Amino acid sequence: MWKGRFAKDTSSLVQEFGESISYDWRLYPHDIAGSIAHARAQKTAGLLTPEEFSQIEAGLLAIRDDIEAGKFEFKASLEDIHMNVESELTKRIGAAGAKLHTARSRNDQVATDTRLYTRTEIELLLEALSGLQDALLDRAEKYAGTVIPGYTHLQRGQPVTVGHHLLAYVEMLERDKGRLSDARKRLNISPLGSGALAGSTINLDRRAIAAELGFDGVTTNSMDAIADRDYIAETLFAIGLCGVHLSRLSEDLILWCTAEFGFVVFSDAHTTGSSLMPQKKNPDVCELTRGKSGRLVGNLMNILVAVKGLPLTYNRDLQEDKPPLFDSIDTLKLILAVNTEMIAAMEIREQRCLAAASDPMLLATDLADWLVKQGVPFRHAHELVGKAVAESVQSGVPLDQLDLTKIDPVYTEDAKSVFDLQRALAARTNPGAPSVENVKSEVARWKAKA
């Protein structure tokens, strides 16, 4: 492609190996916006006449319209989005187009484009995350008082409610939004004007360019500006962790919809059947979400490994930053959309939940707390309740029906008052605890925040 230095054309295999237009074409709106801002600064500096700037701006906007209309032919021989746009511009408007690249490099150009792209996509992801939170809040409100067992080690532990359980994921998604918002703040600095690595002897107004593109400022070290891909790694980390959270939600829901749990029913629209077993109703959305989370984590590893051994400044390895970025963003957007739809339509089988939550063993800790209130040290109370549990298991008599006074005189008949499930739940009033009133209050708080 470059005639000045080279006597031979680039090998067709090298062209195929090195092209990025097959995926970086999606940077076109940001590449064009950056080029217009760059050209405006050239005009201000006297490098372009007003007429030349007008030609460039109109030509770039026409190219953008053609791309959006599907009328633009991308050429692999021109390698990337930058050269495809610039080559077509020069072909359309002539000499003025050839001036556009003055005082910039594809190195600072692509760094600018990917920052603009990532910024835009983060904003879309934040909206999608809020949508999923809204769906979870709607279900949490509907099932604020639906009691289920809470689990540790997948063993029944203590009573909670469906609403409280779903609100845990609202909290996780809020942290995901915070990480993405933080990443957006750090990436919103313009590298344009850093050139190939050492700026340019032709000094354009970098701050004016940055302001036009909506950046908060400009980078202060040209070498770091060109080599930096922290903003991609940070974004992929936030996306990867969000994927992990969604995978955990999926695992809960997969368990809940089994015949063994039977807590949840998904709409037919969000499940699939079996090619052999006609009775099956499979939670494919949850399973695919769980599977795709590994892909998101893998994309983070991809960028970290690609960057870890690179000397300053630009190396062609950095071309490999975009496929994992694009893939993670596309994947998470789809995951969020389909999970929002699925959660909004899912129903909880409240009688099955109540049956599971009616296991008196869920209130064993409450029984220990009752003993503590009688003046028994907790470790001794824990031992006494353990003896009662052992007796229940061995005798087959439910814990709430045992004659506890035969286990130890410290027990009285009042101890059985512990086994009132609604009363036990209502007693959990500390901030963050799962009383129904707390859950309703939390739902209201989240909705007011939105």
Owner of token pair 């002539």 = 94
434, 425 contact by CB (below 8 A) = yes
d(C-alpha 311, C-alpha 328), whole Å: 26
Backbone angles phi, psi at 155, to 5 degrees: -110, 140
d(C-alpha 334, C-alpha 134), whole Å: 17
List all residues 6 or more positions away from 386 whose beta carbon is below 8 Å from its beta carbon.
none
* Annotated catalytic residue, options 11, 12, 274, 417: 274
170, 195 contact by CB (below 8 A) = no
Sign of CA dihedral 72, 77, 83, 88: negative
293, 243 contact by CB (below 8 A) = yes
149, 365 contact by CB (below 8 A) = no
Which tokens belong to 85?
A: 């746009």
Specify whether 222 is catalytic.
Answer: no
Owner of token pair 């994921």 = 169
d(C-alpha 72, C-alpha 59), whole Å: 13
Amino acid at 315: N
Which tokens belong to 106?
A: 């594809």
> What SS3 class is residue 217?
strand
24, 84 contact by CB (below 8 A) = no
Sign of CA dihedral 308, 310, 314, 320: negative
CA distance readout (Å), 36 to 42, 89, 129, 159: 10, 12, 32, 60
d(C-alpha 296, C-alpha 104), whole Å: 33
Specify whether 293 is catalytic.
Answer: no
Instruction: Give the pairing type, strands 189-190 and 217-218.
Output: parallel
Catalytic residues: 153, 274
